[in-house]
Amino acid sequence: MGFEVDEDILQDFLVEASEILEQLSEQLVTLERQPDDKDLLNAIFRGFHTVKGGAGFLSLTALVDTCHKAENVFDILRTGQRKVTSELMDVILRALDTVNNMFAEIQNREDPTPAEPQLLEELKRYCRPASEDEAVAAPVAPVADTTISDLGETEYQQMLDELAPDAPVDRMPESASAGTAEQTASDGDDISDDEFEALLDQLHGAGKHSGIPASAASEPSASLSTDDSGDEIGDLEFEALLDQLHGSGKGPSITADATVSAPTQASPAQAAPVRQTPAAVTAAAPATPTADKAAAKAPAHHNAPPDTTVRVDTKILDKIMNMVGELVLVRNRLISLDANHDNEDISKTVANLDAVTGDLQGAVMKTRMQPIKKVFGRFPRVVRDMARNMNKEINLEMVGEETDLDKNLVEALADPLVHLVRNSCDHGIEMPAEREAAGKPRAGVIRLTASQEGDHILLGIEDDGAGMDPEKLKSIAIKRGILDADGAARMTDNEAYNLIFAPGFSTKQEITDVSGRGVGMDVVKTGINSVNGSIVIDSEKGKGTRLQIKVPLTLAILPTLMVLVGKQTFALPLTNVNEIFHLDLTRTSTVDGQLTIVVRNHAIPLFYLQDWLLKGERQARKAQGHVVIVVVGNQQVGFVVDGLIGQEEVVIKPLDQLLHGTPGMAGATITSDGGIALILDLAGLIKAYARRYA
């Protein structure tokens, strides 16, 4: 185990491997649809290779073993010795799941659990070519755009077998070897058999061939260590050999001095195998024109752009964000004080402070932003696995993956979005035969979208499936006791669609590992409400369903509407506020004992906030006031308040332990006039009080 190494090295590995593993999941699903994409095959190969290399440095043997076998599979695939099939991808995706589990254990500083032997055996089987006979008989063709680090073990061993050093070697005259050098330099990557044998002569010495002259011994290629048993060459030797052939400028030329000379030109001392340390080789190597050219070009390889990123702990970012929040409160206070004083200099200073604070707030918020792709990236795998398990054909489209939102929102939205996508696969998209019978393509489409509008993020999940039948939803709700017949009769279609978010509601007759328990969509609603978001659903039978989620851009600083209830100030999250108008009692009525107000021919339940929030007996309801229409989840509710103060950005402060858990209270904040206002949790408020005071 390598956890005792420098923490910085371990962190570098965790960061790099995390990014690679996130990409691999999406790349593997794409590869199954595009099996002939060579660039994608190489990218996946390099991904497993990089993770394997980092794990090997940390002595994470179990992770190295799994990544190595997966890497070998893609080495076979990219050389065309196997084809991408669904069965092969099942094994590779299981291997990726295993690697992800190991990675999670490493993040927790635990020893990774080795992969199951059955999985390793299946990987090992796919590491071999589809036809063993072809693998033995046919020479391995050179792979285009391949470097030494990309050679797999199978290809490497076959190359050694083909180039067995026991074969007799024809000596080349100096003129021929010089011509060969020129041809090597001009032809680029391709060399002849004679040239390759001459290079192997340098590596294997007089034990197998005709000796190494003194001039050759001082050359870098001739100074490599060899074993007397020497049928095989080491990795470093082979790498150095290919460096000569494929390096910058197509490798240094093979000069006449470096070729094999006649036995009479070599003394016994020169014929002995040469073993030198790297320092000795450096000291002995003469300054050749080729070396001078390489040295002249060397600085170009070190002119990489400077690193412009710095790793910062998220706790530090959170602390900075809290400090900016305090600065926002001070700014609000100064703006309020400036409004009461007629001093032009102070007004200009406050205006400058306001502008700088706004810029600083925006810059700090950007440090906490992450692309929604961190959530969207997992969906290709989710859709692929569900489609395969249910024998459906589903295509996933994603738009707006680069849309940024607060990292806390990214984490909070992950589970709700997974539920919605799984629901679209299970309930929305029909079986291929049903789609064909309805005149649709066999493959259904699920479309994920993300965009920013002002200080909100809009997320969409849309499918072209069967849609929802509002009458069927009503009947299920009545059967499960969620709704009575009279209530169902008054429901609009959109209200019926929202029944799917009711606890315990499910359209499935049988419980499966995917759905049927009636908890998934309720979890979605709860999760979105917890981040002050809202969800709207629309559907058309036979055409499909669309859900739109609206969430704030950040949770750190909350835009609110300040209202007066009695003489106390309360803050309503602005993201929940739909509209405001003056109270007109002539537009109210009572339905089933509940006071309602009609807005654009739509009845909305109406509540007096003073009944819920002011201490003591219920206050006399006033005929004058303002109505604030709020959206909570899938419901619209009207609140009567005594006065409107205006919009204000606030920082949520947690309540004291004595007040913690008070129904309907999300926290407190300091207002611009220096007072204290309670921030309302509208979902919790309605849940706690609506039935009590109806």
**Domain-embedded: residue 288:** yes
Of the residues 516, 533, 552, the one at which a domain ends: 552
Residue 629: predicted pLDDT: 92
449 and 411 part of one domain: yes
CATH code for the domain in which residue 98 is found:
1.20.120.160
SS (H, E, C) 351-406: HHHHHHHHHHHHHHHHHCEEECHHHHCCHHHHHHHHHHHCCCCEEEEEECCCCEEE
Residues 219-243, mean pLDDT to the nearest whole number: 52
Residue 234: predicted pLDDT: 63
**Domain-embedded: residue 152:** no
**Domain-embedded: residue 342:** yes
596 and 668 part of one domain: yes
395 and 451 part of one domain: yes
**Domain-embedded: residue 309:** no
581-590 long-range contacts, Cβ below 8 Å, gap at least 24?
A: 581/626, 581/627, 581/629, 582/625, 582/626, 582/627, 583/623, 583/624, 583/625, 583/626, 583/627, 583/640, 585/623
* Residue 63 DSSP code: H
520 and 392 part of one domain: yes
Per-residue pLDDT at 138 exceeds 70: no
Per-residue pLDDT at 344 exceeds 70: yes
Judging by DSSP bridges, how do beta strands 602-608 and 635-641 pair with one another?
A: parallel
**Domain-embedded: residue 142:** no
Residues 293-312, mean pLDDT to the nearest whole number: 55
Provide the residue count of the chain.
694
680 against 143, higher pLDDT: 680
In degrees, rounded to 5, the angle at the alpha carbon of residue 57 between the alpha carbons of residues 54 and 62 is 75
CA-CA distance, 577 to 579, in Å (whole number)? 6
CATH code for the domain in which residue 501 is found:
3.30.565.10
500 and 562 part of one domain: no
Q: What is the mean pLDDT of the chain?
A: 74
Q: What is the pLDDT of residues 486-503, one digit of tens each?
A: 878 888 888 888 888 877
569 and 543 part of one domain: no
Q: Is residue 583 left, alpha or beta, with left meaning phi > 0 and alpha meaning psi from -120 to 50?
A: beta
Per-residue pLDDT at 461 exceeds 90: yes
Start-to-end Cα distance in the chain: 63
Q: Across-strand partners of 404?
A: 371
**Domain-embedded: residue 508:** yes
Residue 129: predicted pLDDT: 84
CATH code for the domain in which residue 346 is found:
1.10.287.560
Q: Which of 125-139, 259-273, 381-395, 504-518 has the lowest mean pLDDT?
A: 259-273
In this prediction the pTM is 0.60
CATH code for the domain in which residue 606 is found:
2.40.50.180
Residue 246: predicted pLDDT: 56
539 and 589 part of one domain: no
629 and 664 part of one domain: yes
398 and 482 part of one domain: yes
**Domain-embedded: residue 305:** no
Axis-axis angle for helices 38-57, 61-78 (nearest 10): 160
Q: What is the pLDDT of residues 95-128, one digit of tens each?
A: 999 999 998 888 888 888 888 989 888 888 888 8
411 and 340 part of one domain: no
453 and 564 part of one domain: no
CA-CA distance, 622 to 626, in Å (whole number)? 10
Residues with Cβ within 8 Å of residue 694, at least 6 apart in sequence? 593, 594
Per-residue pLDDT at 61 exceeds 80: yes
Q: What is the pLDDT of residues 513-530, one digit of tens each?
A: 455 444 567 778 888 877
546 and 585 part of one domain: no
Structural domain that includes position 567: 558-689
Domain count, the chain: 5
Residue 642: predicted pLDDT: 87
**Domain-embedded: residue 126:** yes
Residues 285-291, mean pLDDT to the nearest whole number: 42
Residue 518: predicted pLDDT: 45
CA-CA distance, 191 to 689, in Å (whole number)? 84
Q: Which of 97-101, 249-253, 611-615 has the lowest mean pLDDT?
A: 249-253
Q: Is there a contact between 604 and 579 (Cβ–Cβ < 8 Å)?
A: no
